[in-house]
């Protein structure tokens, strides 16, 4: 199976809304063995000036990987999920993610490069918080490269 080179430049618009819940922040924080009280205790988060529990720095991967799934599961893309290896990842936070946020992600395919029998695909998710009316506030930009291994790679 080969990767479709025409993927480069493709965008997937914001689809479902992700509601950031307190228990999800706590669950994710425990899963990455984080112990900072701002992830668990609302009063501790407020004492630091936050509206509610603060998500760990890599929490946005949940939203980014949901956005990526649109690409990975797109039959036109030709990506075999079982041969995907994560090559690099970056999070740029414009403001922290806190419990109560309603987030959406726009996915952009920034690069597709053939490597041996496989390909390196670079995606960027622009994550926004929905405000009142039609307003949305930039929250996090994530960029990610995945290597889709060819046979024998």
**By the criterion CB under 8 A, which residues form the site for other proteins?**
24, 27-28, 30-36, 38-39, 48, 50, 54-58, 61-62, 65-66, 81-93, 96, 149, 152-153
Residue 134 CB, nearest approach to other proteins (Å): 27
- Which two three-digit tokens encode residue 128? 């926004």
| Contact predicate 64/142, CB 8 Å | yes
Residue 109 forms beta bridges with which residues? 123
Nearer of residues 5 and 47 to other proteins, judged by Cβ: 47
Nearer of residues 45 and 112 to other proteins, judged by Cβ: 45
| Contact predicate 54/39, CB 8 Å | yes
Residue 118 CB, nearest approach to other proteins (Å): 12
Contacts of 41 (CB under 8 A, 6+ apart): 53
Nearer of residues 7 and 147 to other proteins, judged by Cβ: 147
Residue 30 CB, nearest approach to other proteins (Å): 7
Nearer of residues 125 and 134 to other proteins, judged by Cβ: 125
Residue 41 CB, nearest approach to other proteins (Å): 13
Contacts of 139 (CB under 8 A, 6+ apart): 60, 93, 94, 95, 97, 101, 103, 127, 128, 129
- Which two three-digit tokens encode residue 48? 């630091």
């Amino acid at each position: 199976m080969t990767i479709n080179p025409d993927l480069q430049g493709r965008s997937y618009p914001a689809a479902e809304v992700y509601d950031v819940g307190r228990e999800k922040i706590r669950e994710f924080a425990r899963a990455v063995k984080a112990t900072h009280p701002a992830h668990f205790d609302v009063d501790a988060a407020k004492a630091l000036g936050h509206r509610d529990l603060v998500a760990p720095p890599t929490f946005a991967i949940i939203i980014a990987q949901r956005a990526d799934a649109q690409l990975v599961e797109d039959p036109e893309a030709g990506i075999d999920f079982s041969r995907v290896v994560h090559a690099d990842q970056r999070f740029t936070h414009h403001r922290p993610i806190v419990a109560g946020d309603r987030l959406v992600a726009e996915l952009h395919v920034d690069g597709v490069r053939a490597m041996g029998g496989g390909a390196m695909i670079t995606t960027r998710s622009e994550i926004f918080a929905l405000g009142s009316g039609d307003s949305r506030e930039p929250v996090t930009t994530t960029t990610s490269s995945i290597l889709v291994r060819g046979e024998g790679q």
